[in-house]
Structure 1
């Protein structure tokens, strides 16, 4: 694009990469579940969040919540009266409403929102350019404040806000790249863009068009660089307005492990990684015995996960696993932990297994560890993830690591008890089931 011979001077004297003055006033509408007034230069937008029980029809039965938005300009917002929407909504307002909704849904893990719909209403009091990006930036503040309120009311245990979202405009006026266009600049721009990003600088949405000459890729890169700087500043303003509520952004979700077996708790926690705050049911205050009456690993896992999830209200996983030996018609199976009679007596269980296989040749001592992991949610149906690991049962215990039947279970030339934790995690039945669970969680 050919640049003008003279340097463009902005109407308000700002630098090319400088945004307008921003003010965000939280709790602007007392009756709303969350609200703010956002002012960017002369543009002023009221953003309110309204929480309603029940998800839209297309989400019913899924356990997922919904976030949507509506955008409108007050009649006198542009200096010349704009007709109010009647039965037929203004097509521009509909398009902007969809943009705001798409952007703010990126801020929320809807699987942790529950059977709830949140509507973000964005009403433009005064328009001087950048109303849609101001609505996104202010709408995020209103959304977080609404989440804070319903958490205080006990409707949610923890925050589903997974990322911060803000938007800003940029464009090319008289051959020069500019950030945060006011109306005069927007009206005469050869190119204008609306850019929505998260706190890491990743793009959520770009709306852009070259209304004059085509835009060079290098010019787009300049606009995006300016936008990243502007969004960073807006996010600082969002956090200032939110105060303590800003702590609700990006919290690690809690994952409760429904097991009294500390070895199993430690192993699952290690496999779960850093994305979750992993705690045992005991740490959360659940100490009741769960009677496992299921006929399969899957039934027992579901029973444990759902019992603890219902009691504590957090995402819960439970593993039911055991050893299946072919020469014993699948025994010990679901009775693996109490094969010798007493629950959890590894030494006696191993002794009984060796005794039962005393007359079985090596080639016939095939076996597998099986794991069924149930994921129970306060909002969604319980899911099951399975994994297995094939091996042989040895003639004597070897190794000092692991637990349960690990000293007897041979994979390759080593027992599970002879492997390092990392080696075992790479092939075990439980790690394979956990990998499927983690893929599901994303």
Structure 2
């Protein structure tokens, strides 16, 4: 095969192999010091992470998700070198920039400008490099005169602005972010995500820990789910986030089922099983079942629910997602004030939800939830992802971009501009 026919995979900028972290307790400090040189049996040990393996390729964005205590922050601290692994190794290629715990490394008595100099110096940059970037850092942070005031008077959002600005002043090969962006205002979050995407286009790899489903699905190429210190799943962001939500539901002693679909996606189901979806289908106005929908077409989502136990109330909800798992629209019968009460085992209910499919062309899925109260996180009878998949096509409407059809009525008036300058005599 000739060289121009060979597909070369992007090289891994980050390699994690057999990684583990344990905290050990010894009889005394002398025994701890002795353990540095020869094996010493500790009184007890607690493993935070064990057998972690993954790569991050150049330009790839990977999300790390998991419940509190899963080991996410410990993993990032080992990758950045602030913690030493107990076993395994980490190999990085290129400079790593990290935004971990908010304010880490900042001195509250120093000004924002002084903290930038200090932090950038610790990152290995020279005074000349820092001076050349200072104006850009100050402009990107957009905190005005506070840049020259002590950081102890900053809000958490202002600290995050400075931390992100200095961490990304010079494009790193690997950028690591641990929940820090969640404290910022919406404007700065958009601004930060734009910079991250631009870095990705230039080859920077991203490792991000976040509970923000939208951030993980919009930024990341894949996601890794940690559970009790181990990698539980590594895959597409939308599949991993669905699995993660199912794990949260499992805390309520719900059953969780993971089913591979023919499309290559993963269907996640969870719930106590006291009610279940018996059938779901999409119909045109004439009643025919359809899986291809024209933009703006009137459709009916038909859901049949079977009741397997006496229930005080039932709420049925649905959520539309695009092909990458971004939520387009969702509601439930709690919010529409249509809760069914006092249901008996053996009953069946059929819901008909009619709406105009004002969606952009592409593939969409329907997630369904059966529960009580306003959210499926409490009393979850059943949650089903990818319960139905349908395709949107544009057969009659004018061309448009995006996931929603909100075509405007456009008017334009033409007129001769009237000059405000006084007339001059010739």
TM over 0.5: same fold? no
Give the number of the structure whose alpha-carbon radius of gyration is greater: 1
Structure number with the higher strand fraction is 2
Q: Which has the higher contact order (CA 8 A, sep 6+)?
A: 2
Structure number with the higher helix fraction is 1
TM-score, normalised with respect to structure 1: 0.25
